[in-house]
Amino acid sequence: MLVLACVAAAAHAAKLPSYLTPRCSRSLPTPALSACCEKLANQGVSSLAYGDKKLRIPSMRPLIVPHMSLSQGTQQIGLNLTWEPAEIWGLEDSRLYNMTMDWQNKKAVFDVVIPRFTLAGHYKSSGRVLLLPVNGEGPSNMTVYNLRVHYSYDWPIKKNPDGKEYVTITNSAISISGADGMKLDFQGMFNGDPLLGNQMNAFLNENWRELIREMGPGMAEATGQVTLLVMQGLTSHVPVSEMFDP
Ligand SMILES: *[C@@H]1O[C@H](CO)[C@@H](O)[C@H](O)[C@H]1NC(C)=O
Ligand SMILES: *[C@@H]1O[C@H](CO)[C@@H](O)[C@H](O)[C@H]1NC(C)=O
Ligand SMILES: *[C@@H]1O[C@H](CO)[C@@H](O)[C@H](O)[C@H]1NC(C)=O
């Protein structure tokens, strides 16, 4: 579970940042609205990744998460991994595809490709991979190439006390839909035993597909929370009337 600071409610309405303009018209038919929103999101993603103080979006180069943990309990892997802090690199190069922005039903669906997604930082682990106990701690780097993530969520509109309408994000569902490769380096495994540590790193690197399958839900949650933080920063500060043209 990833714990990030909650986005505070808007004190007053903010303007749509210029890197997310020109606005899309809400009257466009769904395919055209979807294409317009996808284009804007791709245009704005690297600016958003640098952070936006007005929207309370932190810088993501890297995104520093003070505490992050993945717990995995399956037949193959029973593992608790904790990073304090975790660094997430590579989000600024995210590209969105297959966007459906449905104004009538207030649903959004899209895919994201992150060419090089890195989770790094000081880790602690306890548990087992196959039958081997893997207790240890040290620097770590888990880099996934072309990480593909599928998102869907609802975005009902609510009126805030300021009398303006804002999008809220609900029912978000995020899953890892694929990757082209992964490279791992966990130092200090097995309480620092270098021989066992190297063997385990080699084993994990060889079995990266299996590992992504096992750890996918946890990674999806982590990337999903980050995306949600960005989207909520935007939707809780920028009213609907400012976000779309009529
Ligand atoms: C876009 O959708 C198509 C059809 O469902 C799928 O094959 C493709 O992988 C998707 N693209 C991404 C980047 O996920
Ligand atoms: C992982 O952590 C949880 C909660 O701290 C604990 O109940 C569980 O036994 C741990 N699992 C492993 C494999 O260490
Ligand atoms: C993580 O590993 C990748 C691939 O080996 C490397 O390119 C990258 O610089 C590393 N990042 C960090 C933060 O250690």
Per-residue confidence (pLDDT) for residue 11, from 0 to 100? 52
Residue located nearest, by CA, to atom 4 of ligand 1: 98
- Dist. CA 127 → ligand 2 center (Å): 7
Distance separating alpha carbons of residues 198 and 111, to the nearest angstrom: 35
Per-residue confidence (pLDDT) for residue 7, from 0 to 100? 44
CB distance 120 to ligand 3 below 6 Å: yes
Q: Show Cβ contacts of residue 27 under 8 Å, excluding neighbours closer than 6 positions.
A: 246
Per-residue confidence (pLDDT) for residue 12, from 0 to 100? 66
Mutate to test the pocket of ligand 3, among 60, 143, 144 (most ligand atoms within 8 A of CB): 143
HSE at residue 25, side-chain half, CA atoms within 13 A, is: 5
SS3 (DSSP) at 201:
helix
Bridge partners of 175, per DSSP, are 150
**Which ligand 1 atom sits nearest the alpha carbon of residue 113?**
13
* The model's pTM: 0.88
Per-residue confidence (pLDDT) for residue 128, from 0 to 100? 81
Per-residue confidence (pLDDT) for residue 75, from 0 to 100? 66
Identity of the residue numbered 3: V
Would you give the DSSP letter of residue 57? B
Residue located nearest, by CA, to atom 5 of ligand 1: 98
Question: Residue 34: how many CB atoms within 10 A of its CB?
Answer: 21
SS3 (DSSP) at 133:
strand
Which helix (H) or strand (E) element contains residue 188? Answer: none
- Dist. CA 224 → ligand 2 center (Å): 23
Identity of the residue numbered 76: Q
Written in H, E and C, the secondary structure of 184-207 is EEECCCHHHCHHHHHHHHHHHHHC
Q: What is the pLDDT along the chain (246 residues), one digit of tens a residue?
A: 344 444 444 456 889 999 999 999 999 999 999 999 999 999 999 899 999 998 888 888 998 888 888 777 776 778 888 999 999 999 999 999 999 999 999 999 999 999 999 999 999 999 887 777 889 999 999 999 999 999 999 999 999 988 999 999 999 999 999 999 999 999 998 888 999 999 989 988 998 998 888 777 777 877 787 888 888 889 999 999 999 999
Q: Show Cβ contacts of residue 139 under 8 Å, excluding neighbours closer than 6 positions.
A: 120, 121, 122, 123, 185, 187, 188
